[in-house]
């Protein structure tokens, strides 16, 4: 059974719910925390994201609660004749609401944002341990095409 959700742009009042979702994630390894003492860090990030013309933070709201989140970033590159891409980042559905179609709705919304902005490509990365997520993205039409590299700085 699918849960009907709306996908508005996140507001400051959503930050605590977003942080709590990330804190429940055992696979991500990002060190997120729902500790109120750390909330200021999430608020500072929220302010940076909302100040950017190229970044947008979204929430999925179902039954009056934040049940998912994702962020999009528009990037223009010299490749592809100066074309733009949309990167989908930090896709997360609340653990007690998975399997209800929320993720597909969020990704569909992100893809539509790409169409609105006339991008050449929509892309995302997924932690190598998230095998279920990989199947999900493949089912939505994404193709695993690149090998990613990271360097932790802190």
Least confident of 9-13, 46-50, 103-107, 148-152: 148-152
Q: Which of 56, 57, 55 is nearest to 18 (CA)?
A: 57
Give long-range contacts, CB 8 A cutoff, 24+ apart: 27-33.
27/127, 27/129, 27/130, 28/127, 29/127
Q: How confident is the model at residue 2 (pLDDT cuts 50, 70, 90)?
A: confident
Collapsing DSSP to helix, strand or coil, 90 comes out as strand
Percentage above 70 pLDDT, the chain: 97
With bands split at pLDDT 50, 70 and 90, how would you rate the model's confidence at 18? Answer: very high
Q: What is the pLDDT of residue 30?
A: 67
Instruction: List pLDDT tens digits, range 56-96.
Output: 999 999 999 999 999 999 999 999 999 999 999 999 999 89
**Residue 33: how many other CB atoms lie within 10 Å:** 15
Q: Which of 108, 102, 98, 100 is nearest to 130 (CA)?
A: 98
pLDDT score of 45 more than 90: yes
Predicted local distance difference test score (pLDDT) of residue 36: 87
pLDDT of residue 71: 97
SS3 label, residue 18? helix
Q: Which domains does the chain have, with CATH numbers?
A: 12-139 (3.40.630.30)
Measured distance CA(28)–CA(89) in Å, rounded: 12
Q: How far apart are CA 154 and CA 147, in angstroms?
A: 22
């Amino acid at each position: 059974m699918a849960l009907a959700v709306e996908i508005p742009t996140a507001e400051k009042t959503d930050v605590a719910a977003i942080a709590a979702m990330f804190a429940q994630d055992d696979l991500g390894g990002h060190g997120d925390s729902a500790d109120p003492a750390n909330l200021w860090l999430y608020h500072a990030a929220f302010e940076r994201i909302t100040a950017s013309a190229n970044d947008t933070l979204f929430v999925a709201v179902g039954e009056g609660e934040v049940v998912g989140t994702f962020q999009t970033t528009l990037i223009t590159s010299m490749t592809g004749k100066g074309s733009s891409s949309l990167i989908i980042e930090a896709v997360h559905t609340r653990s007690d609401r998975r399997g209800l179609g929320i993720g597909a709705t969020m990704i569909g919304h992100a893809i539509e944002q790409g169409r609105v902005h006339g991008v050449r490509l929509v892309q995302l990365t997924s932690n190598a341990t998230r095998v279920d997520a990989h199947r999900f993205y493949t089912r939505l039409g994404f193709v695993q095409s690149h090998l990613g590299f990271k360097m932790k700085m802190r």
